[in-house]
Amino acid sequence: MTVLAVLVALGVVVVNLRRGRGPVPVPGLPLLLNKGRVMSLYQGGGYGDALVREVQERVTVTRDGKLQIGVRLVDLVGGGSVEHQIVNTYVKHAEPVEVLGVVMKALDSARGIVHVDLANLRVQTNVVWRRTRLSELGDGPRDVYVSVKGKFRLAKGPNDKIVFLAAIGRDDSGAHVRMECSGEDIHLDDEIPEGVFYARCLGKAQPWRGEAGELDILPVAIFQ
C-alpha cells in the first residue's frame, strides 16, 4: 500500500491542490539534516533539475572557479559536471536551514511532495495525484516525498540510531509514523526536546507495516 492508501484507510481527508498552489512550509529550526540523502535526491530522485535551479538562484560562481555562498567563497568539491559540483558544494557548506529551504522549494516546484497533518488527519496533494477517487489512491506514484507534521517523540532505537515516533490521528489506535536516523550525514543543530514536541519530517515513505500499525519514513530532514 502507498502512503496515501494507508492514510485514507485510517480516515485521512485528502485535498487536491491546483498546480503551483501547494503549501511550502517555512523551514523552522533544523534538528536533523541528512546531507547524503539530499545529494541522493539530486542524483537519482528525479528532481535534479529543480534542485539545480533553486541552488543557482542563491549562489555565484566566480571567475577563479570558487562558489560564493552569501559572503563566503569556497572551492567547488566533487567530480562530475559543473552543476553537480555546484549542488554538492552548496549542500556541504550552506547552513542547514538554507539547504532545507532549497530542498522543500525544489520538491514543491516539481510537484513531488505530499503534505500530511498527522494529528488532524489531513493530506494536501497536487497534480502528481490526478486520480481523486479514494479507491484509486493506492495507485499513486511511489517516487514522491512526504512532509508530515505532528507530535513527535524520541524513542529508543537499535544500537546508536536515533528514532522518532509520531502518532497518526488523535485516538489511541497505536498507528504511528516511525523515522530512523543514523550515519555521519546527520546534522544535529540543537538538542532534541524532551517528551512530546511539534515537528515536521521531510522524507520518503516506505510500505505500510500493517501488523505493527507503522509507516516508516526515510528522513531527509526533521525540523521544528
The CATH number assigned to the domain holding 148 equals: 2.40.50.140
Same domain, 56 and 8: no
Specify the pLDDT at position 87.
92
What is the mean pLDDT of the segment spanning 176-194?
73
Domain end, chosen from 109, 130, 152, is at: 109
Q: Report the relative pairing of strands 176-181 and 162-167 from DSSP bridges.
A: antiparallel
Same domain, 22 and 133: yes
- Position 138 pLDDT exceeds 60: no
What is the mean pLDDT of the segment spanning 80-94?
90
Residue 136: which pLDDT band, with cuts at 50, 70 and 90?
very low
Same domain, 90 and 128: no
Task: For residue 64, give every residue at least 6 positions away whose Cβ sits within 8 Å of its Cβ, in sequence order, or none.
Answer: none
Same domain, 16 and 39: no
- Position 123 pLDDT exceeds 80: no
Are 27 and 101 contacting, i.e. CB atoms less than 8 angstroms apart?
Answer: yes
Same domain, 56 and 20: no
- Position 38 pLDDT exceeds 50: yes
Residue 198: which pLDDT band, with cuts at 50, 70 and 90?
very high
Specify the pLDDT at position 137.
33
What is the mean pLDDT of the segment spanning 169-175?
76
Are 19 and 127 contacting, i.e. CB atoms less than 8 angstroms apart?
Answer: yes
Same domain, 66 and 172: no
What is the mean pLDDT of the segment spanning 78-91?
89
Domain end, chosen from 109, 128, 146, is at: 109
Same domain, 89 and 125: no
* 201/188: higher pLDDT: 201
Same domain, 135 and 217: yes
* Range in 123-127, 159-163, 216-220 the model is least confident about: 123-127
- Position 185 pLDDT exceeds 70: no
Using CA atoms in the order 57, 58, 62, 67, what is the torsion angle rounded to 10 degrees? -130
b/e 119-149 (16+ beta carbons within 10 angstroms → b) = eebebbbbeebeeeeeeebeebeeebbbbbb
Same domain, 119 and 205: yes
- Position 89 pLDDT exceeds 50: yes
Are 117 and 52 contacting, i.e. CB atoms less than 8 angstroms apart?
Answer: no
User: Which residue in the block uniquely carries the three cell numbers 567530480?
Assistant: 79
Same domain, 20 and 59: no
Secondary structure of residue 135 in the 3-state scheme = helix
User: Which residue in the block uniquely carries the three cell numbers 539530499?
Assistant: 38
Same domain, 119 and 196: yes
Q: Which domain holds residue 68?
A: 35-109
Same domain, 146 and 215: yes
Specify the pLDDT at position 134.
31
Number of separate domains in the chain = 2
* Range in 6-15, 55-64, 199-208 the model is least confident about: 6-15
- Report pTM: 0.79
Domain end, chosen from 80, 109, 138, is at: 109
